[in-house]
């Protein structure tokens, strides 16, 4: 088992937990978007456990989607003034 990949999965799970908690507590969509992106990153790391070559395209699509969510979340935060 790859310790770096395992650490990435654990850290992604922590960020997802904190993001969902932040959303529940403050109704801040930014926290939920970041949580969903890191949830996807965690899925991609988990798929890597089962052989990256077999899931290479799927991992690429998942990570690309996660990065797009992060960019969207940051763009929304910059574009829309906070209340």
Distance CA 3, CA 29 (A): 32
The tally of CA atoms less than 13 A away on the side-chain side of residue 42 is 16
Query: pTM of the entire structure?
Result: 0.86
In the predicted structure, residue 36 carries a pLDDT above the cut 80: yes
25 token code pair: 């507590």
Distance CA 18, CA 37 (A): 13
Give residue 19's pLDDT band: very low, low, confident or very high (50, 70, 90). very high
């Amino acid at each position: 088992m790859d310790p770096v990949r395992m650490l990435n999965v654990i850290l992604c799970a922590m960020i997802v937990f904190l993001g969902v908690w932040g959303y529940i507590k403050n109704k801040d969509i930014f926290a939920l978007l970041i949580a969903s992106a890191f949830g996807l990153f965690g899925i991609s790391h988990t798929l890597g456990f089962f052989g990256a070559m077999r899931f290479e395209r799927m991992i690429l699509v998942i990570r690309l989607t996660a990065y797009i969510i992060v960019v969207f979340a940051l763009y929304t935060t910059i574009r829309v003034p906070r209340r």
